[in-house]
Amino acid sequence: MTNGNDRSRWNWLLAIPVALPLATFLFNFDGPRLGGFPLFYWLQLAFVGLVVAVTTLVYRLSKRER
């Protein structure tokens, strides 16, 4: 059995994709529309891309530090 280590200052990056989608007052608007999607919808779908990018980044960075 080996030991991993979770501690890394990069983990704080994970706070971004948690906090941003919860700040609904920032994007509770119809415009600007993108491909017919109101801002409220396309931006929240775009957050999916953000969370994939950030979690992947944190995973890579924490692996390198070890």
Chain residues binding other proteins by CB under 8 A are: 1-6, 11, 14-15, 17-18, 21-22, 24-25, 28-30, 33, 35-38, 40-41, 44-45, 47-48, 50-52, 54-56, 58-59
Task: Write the DSSP assignment of 9-53 as a string of letters.
Answer: GGGGGGHHHHHHHH-GGGT--S-S-BTTB-HHHHHHHHHHHHHHH
Nearest approach, Cβ of residue 9 and other proteins (Å):
13
